[in-house]
Structure 1
Amino acid sequence: MLNKNIKIQIPKGVEYIINTLQENGYEAYIVGGAVRDSLLERKVNDWDITTSANPQEVVNIFENLGYKIVPTGLKHGTVTILINSIGYEVTTFRIDGEYEDNRRPKEVKFTSNLREDLKRRDLTINAMAYNDKIGLVDYFYGLEDLNNKIIRCVGNSKDRFNEDSLRMLRCIRFASQLNFCMEESIKLNIRKLSRNIANVSMERIRDELCKILVSSQPVYGIRNIVELNLMDYIIPELKACVGFEPTQAFSSGII
């Protein structure tokens, strides 16, 4: 689904990269969180760019223009272009292969199909792309879910969680940050698959927990972690605190 009526203000460096790739015959868009947060009028921290150009083609184009390129993730199709000392990540459209250990794909394949790239993403609100020429590309109704304040997976949530178990925690984190509700099937499948969170590294879990704790709704987030059984495998010792009767001085924000 295309929407040419939506306009997103893109930084000059990002706009330059997108225009340069288009001038060389490739598709290029901002994608993921940059689109989501722009539509929500939130601060964008990472302006991720996706393109039909393969990594070597991206390197050739911008090295010939005199820019330094950092091969930050060639295996997954990502290079970083340095413009005025600012790094911009550019990733080739890709299809993820079979996942292993509920964490990462065994292999990735590059593709020229934007829809295939967006289809592999976790949430509908993270599966939108945009450039000034085409407008908003939204195959999975992410804009509708933003407007309805719904956290919904691309496709079947059980499949998404089996691919990468951290996505269960990411659903809770985005619900906490944006004050959105999770689709009921997400809650159901988190409960069913909660034990798989044990396959995720504690560093990745820690990062999500920290984002939940500093979100606008941290109590909502922690309550969901407990009620959906994730706490059993993350910090089981904390379950003893649920329902604890505090003194008056410490009663605010009790789960």
Structure 2
Amino acid sequence: MTNIRITEVFTQAMPVLEKLEEAGFEAYFVGGCVRDLLLERPIHDVDIATSAYPEEVKETFAKSIDTGIQHGTVTVLYGGSSYEITTFRTESGYQDFRRPDKVTFVQNLDEDLKRRDFTINALAMNRQGEIIDLFDGLGDLKRRVIKAVGVAEDRFHEDALRMMRAVRFMSQLSFSLEEKTRQFSIS
């Protein structure tokens, strides 16, 4: 784990994590917002992953919207901002190569991070600014490389749009595509 300096956008979102933790749940900042913080890029939205089930998230906050409730996502309106809060989950069965046939809520951040597309997006950060990095996303940020989490072929078969996301990240970040990830993104 690595500690970093938390910026204002995270400071504003901190009460959301605190409320979830006070209610007895785990909660982390996840994904692109953590990546962009580490790259010192503008952050457009802050995503939160939690051990709380959607109904528990809704009970914890006064104002919420069922954004993607079937996939565990609730948008919470708090302090004049909105935050997507998603229950830790695993996914399986991607018959349309885009959306999972089955979503299973889990109580483990590690399982949630395993389902993500690229190592640089499979990063989480707690309230203390500690980075949770199970797949060497920090190393890939330093190497400026886009690499699939786990087996690249599996990630692209789950969601074919991940190939386009890889190209977009390469363009936006001036990163290269890791060799095994490249082999399956163009096959």
> 2:6 is matched with which residue: 5, 8, 18?
8
Unpaired runs of at least 5, structure 1: 193-255
Structure with more of its chain in strand, by fraction? 2
Indicate the structure with greater helix content.
1
Please, which of 149, 153, 177 is the counterpart of residue 144 of structure 2?
A: 149
State whether residues 5 and 129 of structure 2, in contact with CA within 8 Å, keep that contact through their aligned partners in structure 1.
no
Once residues 140 and 156 of structure 2 are traced to their aligned partners in structure 1, the CA distance between those partners, rounded to angstroms, is 19
Aligned counterparts of 1:85 and 1:19: Cα–Cα separation in 2: 17
What is the count of residue pairs matched by the alignment? 186
Q: For residue 185 of structure 1, give the secondary structure of its aligned residue in structure 2.
A: helix
Residue 19 of structure 2 corresponds to residue 24 of structure 1: no
Shift of 1:187: 2.0
Conserved? CA contact 2:16–2:78, under 8 Å: no
Matched letter for residue 151 of structure 1: I
The 3-state SS of whatever aligns with 2:186 is: helix
Pick 1 or 2: higher relative contact order, CA cutoff 8 A, min separation 6: 2
**In structure 2, the residue corresponding to 1:99 is in which secondary structure?**
coil
Contact kept, 8 Å, 1:95 with 1:110, in 2: the verdict is yes
Q: Is the 8 A contact 1:95 1:108 kept in 2?
A: yes
Unaligned runs of 5+ in 2: none
Distance in 1 (alpha carbons) for counterparts of 2:117 and 2:102: 17
The whole-number CA distance in structure 1 between the counterparts of 2:163 and 2:173 is 16
Give 1 or 2 for the bigger CA radius of gyration.
Answer: 1
In the other structure, the counterpart of 2:111 is 116
Does residue 1:184 correspond to 2:179, yes or no?
yes
CA RMSD of superposed structures (Å): 1.3
Counterpart mapping for 1:40-189 below 5 A = 40-62=39-61, 67-133=62-128, 135-189=130-184
* Whole-angstrom distance in 2 between the partners of 1:142 and 1:187: 17
How many Å apart are 1:134 and its aligned residue? 6.5
2:5 partner letter: K
Greater shift, 77-86 or 43-52, is seen at 77-86
Taking only the aligned residue pairs, the percentage that are identical comes to 49
CA distance in structure 1 between the partners assigned to 2:28 and 2:80 by the alignment: 21
1: CA distance between counterparts of 2:52 and 2:146? 31
